Amino acid sequence: MIICTSKMEYPLISQCKRVQKQVMVNGEKERVSLLFMKALVSRGSVDAVSQQMASHPQYLESFLRTQHYILHMDGPLPLPYRHYIAIMAAARYHCSYLVCLHSAQFLRAGGDPLWLQGLEAAPPRLRLLDHINKVLAHQPWLATCSHIQSLLKAGEQCWSLAELVQAVVILAHCHSLCSFIFGCDTDSDLAHLAKSPNGTPPTFCPFDAANGNANVPQSLRQPSEHITRRRSLDSSCDMVCLKERIQKSQEEQEKREERLLQAQTLQQTDVEDEEEMLCFADPSRFITDPDFCYQEFARRDEDHLQVLRVQDYSWEVHGFSLINRLYSDIGHLLDDRFRSVTSLPSLHSSDLKRAIWNYIHYVLGIRYDDYDYVEVNQLLERDLKLYIKAVACFPDVTKTPVCPLSWTLLKASERIHVNLLIMEARLQAELLYALRAITRYMIA
């Protein structure tokens, strides 16, 4: 009798594959849980952006590592400056979510609450960043060495090169993050939480309520189920026990009210002032020249000097080494983000991901001489191109991106993957223009 071993082994092989797949799934879930636990320990909440990115834990880990490094780790800029620069960047796109988030972190870092009244209340050094913030946000190809020179040679208010590089990284990071928030519609989903009830602590951001913050004020919490259950159990107790509990509860309540009244008497004015600045801050008060926005990058003969050719200035050859030299380790962190997002497992082919990346660079004035742009029209449908361009170039919450019809067939994780690609391609493009301007200043 002939025994077919392959058929006998097939159930075992199939079972092993299922177990392996389940282990991978469980491993990814544990990875996300660990990242969220770290966020809860360090910040007291898991922000909405991290929750959106959780379907891609490999990328999320890289993103959070970079964000933590530029906003909280060692660097030439004071912590309040970093968060205020983030506010300025987010305000260019009217991103209330990031403005509120960084306003809260600005106060926690010891920032002056008066600065939140608007850009005119900020120190002159920070106001000097307004022009390059505007250019990098909307028309990065206009960045020149003269912009760099005006900041580095501004007399008493001048910036050091190391400070400027960190500021540029924060600006680019937040500009591109606005694209992701806009594409995922995070900002509008949380806009209804913008108003803060009376009595909330000055460092409480209303978005914390949606992010699972354990420190959410009692007045904002929903009645929990266990309260109802405890009442039903108490009803079975004898009258003596019940009276003792009521009396003890009343005494504790009176003590709490007395302490609360004392605290409110001392802090009520400060709390109301800070809450008003934090939660009702209009992003437009942190920007100037609101009419300055994205313009179509036209390839004309007179504009040939504005075109950035990757063969002449690329991230791999030029940008990475320069930024790593001027801002230690940030080059490695950013490079890990770029590699991570393009290597994520996805239903999208590598050609499609490359087309999305190159198309974003194309509309921002960056050209690859070794790439056939006919592929962009072949692989990207018109409605998808319109969506990509809107999210990458003008992610303003006052507008609404029209999602492609083909997206209805995709999983949420696949749609998020496209938005991650848009964000990272946008980030790299902005950094290339800024670093090219710095390079030209250094060799001038």
Structural domain containing residue 332:
74-189+281-443
Output the six-digit token pair for 399.
């507008």
Report if residue 254 sits inside a domain: no
pLDDT attached to residue 155: 82
- In angstroms, the CA 15 to CA 13 distance is 5
Report if residue 101 sits inside a domain: yes
Work out how many domains the chain is built from and give that number.
Answer: 1
Report if residue 21 sits inside a domain: no
Active site residues: 95
- Return all residues near 348 (Cβ < 8 A) that are at least 6 apart: 414, 417, 418
pLDDT tens, position by position, 392-409: 998 885 566 667 767 767
Nearest-CA neighbor of 101 among 164, 193, 24, 239?
Answer: 193
Mean pLDDT of 219-238: 40
Report if residue 88 sits inside a domain: yes
Residue 84 has pLDDT above 90, yes or no: yes
pLDDT tens, position by position, 106-135: 999 999 999 999 999 999 999 999 999 999
In a 10 Å sphere around its CB, with 0-12 CB exposed, 13-18 middle and 19+ buried, how is residue 196 labelled? buried
Which H or E run contains 366?
Answer: strand 366-367
Residue 410 has pLDDT above 50, yes or no: yes
Q: Tell me the C-alpha to C-alpha distance, in Å, between residue 330 and each of 81, 132, 163, 224.
A: 18, 21, 13, 45
pLDDT attached to residue 204: 37
Among 2-6, 271-275, 281-285, 386-390, top mean pLDDT goes to: 386-390
pLDDT tens, position by position, 232-287: 433 444 445 545 555 665 566 666 556 656 555 544 444 444 444 445 568 999 99
pLDDT attached to residue 50: 87
Residue 58 has pLDDT above 50, yes or no: yes
Report if residue 273 sits inside a domain: no
Q: Tell me the chain's radius of gyration from C-alpha atoms.
A: 26
Nearest-CA neighbor of 42 among 78, 62, 67?
Answer: 67
Residue 380 has pLDDT above 90, yes or no: yes
Report if residue 276 sits inside a domain: no
- In angstroms, the CA 86 to CA 203 distance is 17
Report if residue 19 sits inside a domain: no
Report if residue 18 sits inside a domain: no
Which H or E run contains 201?
Answer: none
- In angstroms, the CA 168 to CA 430 distance is 9
